[in-house]
DNA sequence: AATACGGGGTT
DNA sequence: AACCCAGTATT
């Protein structure tokens, strides 16, 4: 099946293609790094992270040789931290199994940790010119409008059909440019809420535009409401003016990041009880819980939390890493060397604001 | 097939 | 506040 709109799309791409830091290089390492960062993350958010990361790790060998904790620190704030772990592991596999050179086909790339079908197609086509399709949120939206697709795009069966369409429409040449032009079109023109159909280079081929249904595409089932949890955290001081911090397990939420120890409040439990229980379970220590120091709200994808941070005094028990990966006593000024999630960073910002007021 | 997994931008 | 974003891995 020949692509009905590729010439117009590519011509548009040459005119308006955004200058992006990861474009203009076919270095597979750079393409791969950008694609991992861009998973579920907008272009503008990625730009500063990409520049810093590349400066810290200019080659896949440098990344493979780095400690994971350093990589996580570079990733701090970007979210979906499993990406950083897989990135690190994949770099080590590329160095050890492939002599530091990325495999050039989508099938081989997809065997690497953190590379699924989308990223495999993106790297293969952009870095190696392979004839492999991509299907991301942008492309799903563009295709659902071009086809005026009434199917629910959140359903796996619909995704399968869309992947097939992506494959069917793949041009013979310039596949990397074509894939990127499709994503640029989705990002800049074929926007979710208010598509700029007047400036669309392929509107002559768009069934939804012809029928005026572009605002009803894509069809998706709304997301379930997110629950709210109350979470406690201890600002535990020792006599040397140090704070106790703990590193979360590698698996799960905020994996590998540091935090002020604590946890989710259970039904029928006061916050003081919750905090003392969590500190016993995770670190085997006893503290006296003092005043509420800060209250912070934060939204994750699947739930919201209110984080209640209490000033605590360390009482007894050498900390043990029972439910955490590691622990450390650190001076407040040394906190920046560790990676924290956004909620704990808000608590740290509050500490600094209050200290600044005192000076 | 359904769910877990961040954080920021847009509307 | 809801929706969206250059998705992947696990169960």
DSSP SS3 for A133 = coil
> How far does the CA of A193 sit from the C1' of B1, in Å?
28
Quick check: A194 CB within 7 A of strand B?
A: yes
For residue A19, what are the contacts with CB-CB under 8 A and spacing of at least 6? none
Quick check: A227 CB within 7 A of strand B?
A: no
Q: Are A252 and A341 spatial neighbours (Cβ–Cβ below 8 Å)?
A: no
What are chain A's domains? 6-216 (1.10.340.30), 228-358 (3.90.79.10)
> What's the CA gap between A251 and A239, in Å, rounded?
33
Question: Which nucleotides in chain C have some atom under 7 angstroms from a protein Cβ?
Answer: 2-9
Tell me the per-residue pLDDT of A150-190, one tens digit each, with 9 for 90 and over: 999 999 999 999 999 999 999 999 999 999 999 999 999 99
Q: How many CB atoms lie within 10 A of CB A216?
A: 13
Give the residue carrying structure tokens 């040394």: A334
DSSP SS3 for A265 = coil
> What's the CA gap between A157 and A151, in Å, rounded?
9
Tell me the per-residue pLDDT of A251-279, one tens digit each, with 9 for 90 and over: 999 999 999 999 999 999 999 999 999 99
> How far does the CA of A50 sit from the C1' of B11, in Å?
27
Quick check: A323 CB within 7 A of strand C?
A: no
Pairing of strands A304-316, A286-299: antiparallel
The 8-class DSSP code of residue A160 comes to H
Question: Which nucleotides in chain B have some atom under 7 angstroms from a protein Cβ?
Answer: 1-2, 4-11
Give the residue carrying structure tokens 């074509």: A178
Contacts 24+ apart (CB under 8 A), A285-291: A285/A236, A285/A244, A285/A314, A285/A315, A285/A316, A285/A317, A285/A318, A285/A319, A286/A315, A286/A316, A286/A317, A287/A234, A287/A236, A287/A312, A287/A313, A287/A314, A287/A315, A288/A312, A288/A313, A288/A315, A289/A234
Tell me the per-residue pLDDT of A70-84, one tens digit each, with 9 for 90 and over: 999 999 999 999 999
A167 catalytic per annotation: no
Instruction: Say what the pLDDT of residue A1 is.
Output: 78
Q: How many CB atoms lie within 10 A of CB A115?
A: 24
Tell me the per-residue pLDDT of A89-148, one tens digit each, with 9 for 90 and over: 999 999 999 999 999 999 999 999 999 999 999 999 999 999 999 999 999 999 999 999
Quick check: A214 CB within 7 A of strand C?
A: no
For residue A281, what are the contacts with CB-CB under 8 A and spacing of at least 6? A263, A322, A323
Pairing of strands A243-247, A258-259: antiparallel
The 8-class DSSP code of residue A325 comes to S
CA distances from A265 to A272, A305, A328, A349 (A): 9, 11, 24, 24
Residue numbers in A 15-54, CB below 7 Å of strand C: 20, 22-23, 34-35, 38-43
Quick check: A307 CB within 7 A of strand B?
A: no
Catalytic residue selected from A14, A19, A35, A61 = A35
């Amino acid at each position: 099946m020949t692509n009905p709109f590729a010439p117009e799309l590519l011509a548009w791409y040459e005119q308006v293609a955004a200058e992006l830091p990861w474009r203009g290089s076919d270095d597979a390492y750079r393409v791969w790094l950008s694609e991992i960062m861009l998973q579920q993350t907008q272009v503008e958010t990625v730009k500063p992270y990409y520049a810093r990361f590349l400066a810290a790790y200019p080659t896949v060998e440098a990344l493979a040789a780095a400690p994971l904790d350093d990589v996580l620190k570079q990733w701090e704030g970007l979210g979906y931290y499993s990406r950083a772990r897989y990135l690190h592991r994949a770099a080590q596999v590329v160095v050890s199994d492939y002599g530091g050179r990325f495999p050039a086909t989508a099938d081989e790339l997809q065997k690497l940790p953190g590379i699924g079908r989308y990223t495999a197609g993106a790297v293969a086509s952009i870095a190696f010119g392979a004839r492999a399709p991509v299907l991301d949120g942008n492309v799903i939206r563009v295709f659902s409008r071009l086809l005026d697709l009434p199917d629910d795009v959140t359903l796996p069966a619909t995704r399968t059909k869309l992947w097939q369409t992506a494959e069917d429409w793949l041009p013979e040449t310039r596949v990397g440019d074509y894939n990127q032009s499709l994503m640029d079109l989705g990002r800049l023109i074929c926007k979710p809420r208010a598509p700029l159909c007047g400036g669309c280079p392929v509107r002559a081929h768009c069934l939804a535009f012809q029928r005026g249904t572009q605002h009803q595409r894509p069809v998706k089932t709304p997301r379930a409401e997110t629950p709210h949890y109350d979470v406690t955290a201890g600002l535990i001081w020792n006599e040397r003016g140090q704070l106790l911090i703990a590193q979360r397990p590698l698996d799960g939420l905020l994996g590998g990041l540091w935090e002020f120890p604590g946890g989710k409040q259970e039904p029928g439990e006061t916050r003081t009880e919750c905090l003392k229980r969590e500190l016993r379970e995770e670190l085997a220590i006893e503290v006296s819980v003092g005043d509420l120091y800060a209250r912070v709200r934060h939204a994750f994808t699947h739930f919201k939390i209110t984080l209640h941070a209490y000033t605590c005094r360390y009482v007894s028990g050498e900390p043990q890493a029972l439910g955490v990966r590691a622990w450390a006593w650190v001076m407040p000024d040394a906190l920046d060397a560790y990676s924290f999630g956004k909620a704990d960073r808000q608590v740290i910002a509050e500490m600094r604001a209050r200290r600044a007021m005192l000076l």
